[in-house]
Amino acid sequence: MSTEFHLRPPVLPGRQDESYWLQSTAGLETKQCPALAGSATADLAIVGGGLTGLWTALRVLEKDPSLNVVVLEAGTCGAGASGRNGGQVHSWFESLDRLAAVTDADEALRLAQASADAINELEALQDSGEVDMDLRLDGWLWTASSTAQEGAWQEALNLCAANGVSPYRVLDAEEIRQRTGSDASYQGVVEDRAGSLHPGKLMRNLKMHALRKGVTIYENTPVTTIAAGRPATLTTPGGSLSAGNVLLATNAWASSVPELRQKMYVVDSQVIATEPIPDRLDELGWKSGEAVCDAQNQVLYYQRTPDGRVIFGRGSGGTIFGDRLGATQNRHPRWVADSVAEFRRVYPTLSDVRIDYDWLGAIDCVPAHVPIFGNLKGQDNLFYAIGWNGTGLAQIPACSRIIASMILKTDDVWGRSKLINQQQAKSLPPEPVRFLGAHMVRAALVRKNALEIRNRRPDLMTRALVALMPKGTSEHD
Ligand SMILES: Cc1cc2nc3c(=O)[nH]c(=O)nc-3n(C[C@H](O)[C@H](O)[C@H](O)COP(=O)(O)OP(=O)(O)OC[C@H]3O[C@@H](n4cnc5c(N)ncnc54)[C@H](O)[C@@H]3O)c2cc1C
């Protein structure tokens, strides 16, 4: 009997629960792709039409345009994290230490450089008119808003200097205040070749770009089962697809495969969008497209949209029993008050401003904080890509070269990446230990954060519990 993998497709949000990004670009949809009906074949089937799915499809076709590459998306492309994120675009130089821990110093530098190149590629795609995404390379500010956060970037700065690169420039309190319109953060660095974009525009236009490049996309097509074999057979409500190779590009939803659930855990991140207040932001001095984040464990990340809304996100760190993602990972009132309180702390003069949208997104974390690519045990044509840990806009176009080489078994610098089939990747404990442990640690984390933000020192027990937290629970975005 052949091995079957059962997937738990996402619970899709109603239109009113979608992100501001998707709601504000609903009219941009120039082509709704059909759902799969009946039987079809593919050289490569990609489950998931987010950044990982679409970028990998594009890279595979760049390498071999003769292949029949099919993307199967449960909702519409961008329904997951890719259409809900904070729109912060920055390179991987901030993660040189984590990348080197899993690969080596040379590969870490190559990956960081590849992510910086990906930012140039995004800019070229926008400038050519091919993929409009409101990309504004006005800088990524990585800042401290309490004493506990001061110097969070120092290790990255040291490693960059040791490697002879200097993507960051140190900022003083005055420049941060002038560029963000807030004095909550008073220390930091800026990556100048970085900034912000509109994830809704990016995803809708990247989909059209992929279609023009020859990718076949089926939307409203949740994959429920993958029967291993050559070819593998993917079952959907309306049909089935036989595919030579399969890539699971399902982000947090990959946790429905037991082997992958051992490697990953899922946390939420929460975002709010204010009403448009361009004049008031101009008055504060916040006029451009900087992406700003701080360095607390429940990281804050924010940008001003071109039409003057504030997009303000916060890592809630909320964990989910058995990683069973449901409707509460689309939108949940529980976290909104927290995010609004933090928004008002950072922008006290905007406390009367209306919040027009709020939404949640699930983040696929792995303990080492850098993604893992590989094939399912004993299945050399069933691949996965997990562990983006809350970044991706520049990292995914860079790493999709690795994923494409892995699938096509290309013996090149990407196909030899040490991110593939990481032997040292830690296994996480099973339920209920995992949930109870995560719950306790999260409670301590929230306590620690709340005290540190007020420059108070947490007690010993709280600090000890937080120290148990796997790396990766604090994200930059
Ligand atoms: C709130 C939030 C804020 C973030 N902020 C930033 C940021 O500012 N900057 C940054 O670089 N990164 C950010 N990230 C991270 C970034 O968005 C992700 O790493 C990236 O989008 C992951 O892309 P993906 O394609 O792997 O996943 P997704 O975009 O989640 O795509 C997975 C897709 O798979 C589909 N799917 C799942 N199961 C099935 C199935 N069985 N059948 C068919 N389809 C299925 C889903 O519908 C979904 O569309 C943020 C993430 C979140 C959640």
Q: Which of 19, 22, 54, 82 to mutate to test the pocket of ligand 1 (most atoms within 8 A of CB)?
A: 82
Name residues contacting ligand 1 (CB within 6 A): 7, 9-10, 47-53, 72-75, 79-82, 84-88, 222-223, 249-251, 253, 269, 271, 301, 313, 361-363, 388, 390-393, 396, 477
| SS3 of the chain: helix, strand, coil, percent, to 5 | 35, 20, 40
Ligand 1 center to residue 431 CA distance, Å? 24
Interior/surface letters 383-412, b for 16+ CB within 10 angstroms, e for the rest = bbbbbbbbbbbbbbbbbbbbbbbbbbeeee
Q: Which of 33, 85, 203, 226 to mutate to test the pocket of ligand 1 (most atoms within 8 A of CB)?
A: 85
Q: How many CB atoms lie within 10 A of CB 355?
A: 15
Alpha-carbon gap, residue 128 to 79, rounded angstroms: 26
Number of residues that this document lists for the chain: 477
Q: Whose CA is nearest to atom 25 of ligand 1?
A: 50
Walk along the chain (477 residues) and give the pLDDT tens digit of each residue.
Answer: 679 999 999 999 999 999 999 999 998 866 789 999 999 999 999 999 999 999 999 999 999 999 999 999 999 999 999 999 999 999 999 999 999 999 999 999 999 999 999 999 999 999 999 999 999 999 999 999 999 999 999 999 999 999 999 999 999 999 999 999 999 999 999 999 999 999 999 999 999 999 999 999 999 999 999 999 999 999 999 999 999 999 999 999 999 999 999 999 898 899 999 999 999 999 999 999 999 999 988 899 999 999 999 999 998 767 777 778 888 889 988 789 989 999 999 999 999 999 999 999 999 999 899 999 999 999 999 999 999 999 999 999 999 999 999 999 999 999 999 999 987 777 888 877 777 877 777 778 778 888 888 888 888 777 777 776 654 444 444
CA 330/CA 458 separation, integer angstroms: 32
Question: Could you give the 3-state DSSP secondary structure of residue 354?
Answer: coil
Contact 348, 329 (CB under 8 A): no
CA of 292 to the centre of ligand 1 (A): 20
Q: Are 298 and 331 in contact (CB under 8 A)?
A: no
Q: Which tokens hold the place of 128?
A: 């050519």
CA dist 355 to 159, 308, 343, 352, Å?
40, 13, 10, 9
Q: What's the CA gap between 151 and 118, in Å, rounded?
A: 27
How far apart CA 248 and CA 474 sit, in angstroms, is: 25
pLDDT for 469 = 66
pTM of the entire structure? 0.95
Rounded to the nearest angstrom, the gap between the alpha carbon of residue 79 and the centroid of all alpha carbons in its chain is 13
Atom 3, ligand 1: residue with shortest CA distance: 85
Which atom of ligand 1 lies nearest, measured to the CA of 221? 43
Q: How far is ligand 1, taken at its centre, from the CA of residue 85, in Å?
A: 8
